[in-house]
Every structure is written in C-alpha cells, then in structure tokens.
Amino acid sequence: MSANVEIYTWSSCPFCLRAKALLTQKNIPFTEYTIDGDDAAREQMAERANGKRTMPQIFINDNSIGGCDELYALEQEGKLDAMIA
C-alpha cells in the first residue's frame, strides 16, 4: 500500500511545480489542493502544517514534511522512498 501524499499549491508557484514534478517523476500518486486566493483553505493548511504558510506544503500520511526544498532533501538523503513505501 502506498502512502497518502497531499500537496497544497498555487497554480503559478514555481516551487509547487518543482515539487509536483519530482512526485510525478517518481510515480508517487498525490492529491493536490490548488488554493489560489482561498484564505480559508490556506488557514486550514497552516493549521495542519504547524503554522507554516509558504507554498507548497506537503503531507505524507498526515505528517507535514514541509515544502519543495524539504521534499528534495528527503529524496537526496534517500529517505523519500521509505516514507512512501
């Protein structure tokens, strides 16, 4: 069974696009919430992300892993595959 991966994005955010590209390249299915201009959705995301409001915010099995840089760091360290296995 694969992990539940969720990503909060803005449609024109370059970091969001990079994060989605890595997930897609690795064939990791994810649920995307595009929240352009939706303050209520951003508040909900920030609550889940321990107050973080930057984009994207990525969750694996309901755990906040941070944004694009953190996702690439996990991949670099060889930890991403274990998290989604």
Could you list the mean pLDDT of each consecutive 10-residue stretch along the chain, which spans 85 residues? 90 97 97 96 96 97 97 97 92
User: What pTM does this model have?
Assistant: 0.94
pLDDT score recorded for residue 28: 95
Q: Is 27 left (phi over 0), alpha (psi -120 to 50) or beta?
A: left
User: How confident is the model over 45-63, as pLDDT tens digits?
Assistant: 999 999 999 999 999 999 9
CATH 3.40.50.11890 is held by the domain 5-84? no
Domain regions of the chain by residue span: 5-84
